[in-house]
Amino acid sequence: MAVDPIQTPPPPQPRSNTYLFSDPLDSHPLWFKPDLFLSPNFDSDSYISELRTFVPFDTLRSELQAHLTSLNHELIDLINRDYTDFVNLSTKLVDVDSAVVRMRAPLLELREKIEGFRGSVDSSLVALKNGLEQRSEAAATREVLELLLDTFHVVSKVEKLIKELPSVPADWSNGDVNLAQKSVVSNGSIENGTNVRETQSMLLERIASEMNRLKFYIAHAQNLPFIQNMEKRIQSASLLLDASLGHCFVGGLEHRDESVIYNCLRAYAAIDNTSSAEEIFRTTVVAPLVQRIIPHGSSGVAAGVIWRWT
């Protein structure tokens, strides 16, 4: 049995001449925006209340009725365009329930497989994260252990190098051959006083470089118990280095040995203790020079000058 198409409703009321001769792209007033009706947050009450502040109610009603008529025409055109398929839709939907039942079992099975696969992936991801965290912790622990091991080796090396220095610091500033023979260098050779001072200054520079390296390690691991237990050894080595370096620098200044002075200054710079070098230079060179220039019998001004330089 054939079904008649939907009857087209009567045409809308005729519009004014302004509407007939206006631009088709501007068929609606500027204040009327049909796109707002499609917004998910559209509120009819707020929309009407906002427009009523500057649009008369009759004008708004007529514009909405015209838009409704236009939508009805579009709906009818869509239905008539696919009318045959729309009518035959009921004949094509045969045995839908059985088809749904047939599809349900495979879909449920597929869903179970996907959930199982998802669970295995989640467990693998958790295991991978735990493994990465353990690896990161192990790497950090290994880094700390290597730092402590390097610190121990540097402390032992500094102590060993300090033991190679002469036991009596006055031996360094004495250039006699007999005193030079008492100083035994690392290679076992016996040198004169000048070579002894130079060798010892080079050794002190090497010790100072190791002490600078030791300070770097301590700064990165100063709160660890292992470092705290080694503080006495580190302080003792630092005091011995300062004393030995001071005697060597004094000897170099007294004998005007440029190599010794240069090595000692490099050592002071390595341990960041240039103030001690300045004090030794002030008391060893500047003060005696001022005393020779200004006689002791001068007034208290001379004493003040000496005190200022020293």
CA 196 to CA 291: how far, in whole Å? 31
- Percentage of residues of the chain with pLDDT beyond 90: 18
Global pTM exceeds 0.85: no
In the structure, what pLDDT confidence band is assigned to residue 26 with cuts at 50, 70 and 90?
Answer: very low
Share of the chain above pLDDT 70, in %: 76
Question: Is the confidence at residue 45, as pLDDT, over 60?
Answer: yes
**76-108 CB burial, b ≥16 within 10 A, e <16:** eeeeeeeeeeeeeeeeeeeeeeeeeeeeeeeee
- Note the pLDDT of residue 111: 92
Which residue's structure tokens are 């045995």?
A: 95
Residue 284 DSSP class: I
Q: Tens of pLDDT along 124-176? A: 999 999 999 999 999 988 998 998 899 899 999 998 988 887 643 444 444 33
What confidence tens digit (pLDDT) does each residue in 241-291 have?
Answer: 999 999 999 988 888 888 899 999 999 999 888 898 899 989 988 888 888
Q: Does 74 or 16 have the greater pLDDT score? A: 74
| Cβ atoms of residues 203 and 137 within 8 Å | no
| Tens of pLDDT, residues 205-236 | 999 999 988 888 888 887 888 888 888 898 89
Specify which of 46-55, 160-169, 238-247, 293-302 reaches the highest per-range mean pLDDT. 238-247
- Contact residues for 252 (Cβ-Cβ < 8 A; gap 6+): 197, 201, 259, 260, 261, 264
Q: What is the mean pLDDT of the chain?
A: 78
Q: What is residue 23's predicted lDDT score, i.e. its pLDDT? A: 45
